[in-house]
Structure 1
Amino acid sequence: MLDKSKKTGGSNFSEDEIARFDALAESWWDPKGKYKTALDFNRARLDVIKAQIENHFGKGKLPPDYSTLSMIDIGSGGGLISEPLAKLGAHVTGIDASAVSVEVAKRHAEKSGVDVNYRHMLSSEVVGEGLQYDVVINAEVVEHVPDQRQLIKECASLVKPGGLLILATLNRTFKSYIIAIVGAEYVMRYLPIGTHDWRKFVKPRELQQWVGGAFSLKHQVGMKLNPLKGEWLTTSSLAVNFIQTYSRDE
């Protein structure tokens, strides 16, 4: 019997994970739906991502000219990161292993009048095309693939010299198990039960090792939810959700 949790046919994706996100895709953009908390989290995460892009490329003149920047969102899902960046003028490509998610993202971008190049493909295929980008984003994807090191290696290879690699995931700590698994899935039901496997969470130092010596860690910050106000905030603690930004040497 085929183990769907491992690499199959030379492709680094899990069929079970893709099926799960196919079921979620249609709900991603509904601000009043059951994934409202995830949408709120995405807005806070986008603030961090945009600040890092502007600090790096603005060179004292914030914001930079987004129209000069090429970006790729690895595991773009319904387009929650790709579309806002494209609205700023960036040339954005969003790729995802889920054909349904890509179609959802395409339809939403068309309705919004935003130009995003969505493609149903894997990062390994982009690498095979010999393409590179000013900004490569991999947000909440690495904890869902069988070969995590390979995915990060592929993402790093897609960054132009002088460009940025932005990674976001969940730390493998006791606190993250309590908050992201028990709390978010079983208690608050922010996410369907089984969305995450705690064993696939990644420690910050592991990401740094996988990125490799051609990159410098520029910034890292954690994310936390204020349950009383329902607001996501940045925090110095990387114990649960965190974002890292790397610059590639010229």
Structure 2
Amino acid sequence: MLDKSKKTGDSNFSEQEISRFDALAESWWDPQGKYKTALEFNRARLNVIKAQIEIHFGRGNLPPDYSALSIIDIGSGGGLISEPLAKLGAQVTGIDASAVSVEVAKRHAQNTGVKVDYQHKLSSEVVEEGRQYDVVINAEVVEHVPDQQQLMRECASLVKPGGLLILATLNRTLKSYVVAIVGAEYVMRYLPIGTHDWKKFVKPSELKSWIGNEFTLKYQVGMRLNPLKGEWLTTSSLAVNYIQTYSKHK
């Protein structure tokens, strides 16, 4: 079978992955659609992301001034993370390799009246522009690119000194294979078959090593599904889905 993954110059993307997400994009915002479990997962994940931003940038017991924060969501898809953060007042840029996903996100933001700067581009292009942000988010993206270490280096370079890097992905464990691939794709059909490649899942220690010495790991937590209630909850186990936050040294 022809391998459609590409790693040429600054092009770190997989045509096969992009075409798959093009097909998904229109369904991402439908709370009654077949991906409603993924939407519930995003809600729980977003709660963690917001809490970590508020801890890092908060003023004592007061929340941060979101309007003073610049945020980039790398692999923003349909805007499920970008739009809620922009609604809080943050200056949010969402980038994605899928032009269809970007257009879906733009249309949804226009309909809800939320201002997000969505752009069809790769993180390498933003690095070349010399931009940096208070918060860099890369959620459920690293497991879909050919050169994972390059993507992490690019994300790290986009964080301002004193800023926050938030990463979310899947651990490469036997449990993650059973839960995220066999269970989620083949049994429960929460996601289309072939959405994930277990060999591309990333261990927390690998992420940490790719980030480099400029960062300190501040927080990590796992995510688990309560199948009876259809709710996603945080857990101390990082065996399947997990989130890490890193602060960049000033």
TM-score (norm 1): 0.98
* Residue number in structure 2 paired with 1:240: 240
Q: How many residue pairs get matched? A: 250
* Residue number in structure 2 paired with 1:116: 116
Q: CA deviation at 1:5?
A: 1.9
Cα distance in 2 between the residues matched to 1:62 and 1:240: 33
Kindly provide the CA deviation profile for residues 114-137 of structure 1, in whole angstroms up to 9, marking residues without a partner as x.
000000000000000000000000
* Residue number in structure 2 paired with 1:67: 67
Instruction: State whether residues 221 and 238 of structure 1, in contact with CA within 8 Å, keep that contact through their aligned partners in structure 2.
Output: yes
Instruction: State whether residues 55 and 62 of structure 1, in contact with CA within 8 Å, keep that contact through their aligned partners in structure 2.
Output: no
* Residue number in structure 2 paired with 1:227: 227
Q: CA deviation at 1:4?
A: 1.2
Secondary structure, counterpart of 1:7 in structure 2? strand
Secondary structure, counterpart of 1:6 in structure 2? strand
* Residue number in structure 1 paired with 2:184: 184
- Following TM superposition, the consecutive aligned residue runs of length 4 or more in structure 1 with deviations greater than 4 angstroms are none
Q: CA deviation at 1:60?
A: 1.3
Q: CA deviation at 1:6?
A: 3.4
Cα distance in 1 between the residues matched to 2:157 and 2:61: 28
* Residue number in structure 2 paired with 1:205: 205
Is residue 162 of structure 2 the alignment partner of residue 159 of structure 1? Answer: no
Report the identity percentage. Answer: 84
Cα distance in 1 between the residues matched to 2:29 and 2:3: 32
Q: Quick one: which amino acid aligns to residue 60 of structure 1? A: G
Q: Quick one: which amino acid aligns to residue 118 of structure 2? A: Y
* Residue number in structure 2 paired with 1:175: 175
Cα distance in 1 between the residues matched to 2:96 and 2:138: 11
Cα distance in 2 between the residues matched to 1:61 and 1:157: 30
Cα distance in 2 between the residues matched to 1:62 and 1:84: 19
Cα distance in 2 between the residues matched to 1:2 and 1:228: 41
Cα distance in 1 between the residues matched to 2:64 and 2:11: 36
* Residue number in structure 2 paired with 1:216: 216
The 1:10/1:163 distance shift into structure 2, 3 A limit, reads closer
Name stretches of at least 5 consecutive residues in structure 1 with no aligned partner.
Answer: none
Is residue 85 of structure 2 the alignment partner of residue 85 of structure 1? Answer: yes
Cα distance in 2 between the residues matched to 1:16 and 1:157: 27
Cα distance in 2 between the residues matched to 1:118 and 1:153: 22
Is residue 142 of structure 2 the alignment partner of residue 127 of structure 1? Answer: no
The 1:216/1:9 distance shift into structure 2, 3 A limit, reads closer
Cα distance in 2 between the residues matched to 1:29 and 1:9: 34
Kindly provide the CA deviation profile for residues 39-72 of structure 1, in whole angstroms up to 9, marking residues without a partner as x.
0000000000000000000031331110000000
Greater Cα shift, 160-169 or 59-68:
59-68
Secondary structure, counterpart of 1:243 in structure 2? strand
Kindly provide the CA deviation profile for residues 66-115 of structure 1, in whole angstroms up to 9, marking residues without a partner as x.
00000000000000000000000000000000000000000000000000
Instruction: State whether residues 169 and 201 of structure 2, in contact with CA within 8 Å, keep that contact through their aligned partners in structure 1.
Output: yes
Secondary structure, counterpart of 1:176 in structure 2? helix
The 1:226/1:4 distance shift into structure 2, 3 A limit, reads same
* Residue number in structure 2 paired with 1:15: 15
Q: CA deviation at 1:7?
A: 1.3
Q: CA deviation at 1:9?
A: 5.4
TM-score (norm 2): 0.98
Secondary structure, counterpart of 1:12 in structure 2? strand
Cα distance in 1 between the residues matched to 2:28 and 2:103: 13
Q: CA deviation at 1:3?
A: 3.1
Kindly provide the CA deviation profile for residues 126-163 of structure 1, in whole angstroms up to 9, marking residues without a partner as x.
00000000000000000000000000000000000000
* Residue number in structure 2 paired with 1:98: 98
Cα distance in 2 between the residues matched to 1:10 and 1:30: 34
Cα distance in 2 between the residues matched to 1:92 and 1:189: 32
Cα distance in 2 between the residues matched to 1:182 and 1:132: 39
Kindly provide the CA deviation profile for residues 206-228 of structure 1, in whole angstroms up to 9, marking residues without a partner as x.
00000000000000000000001
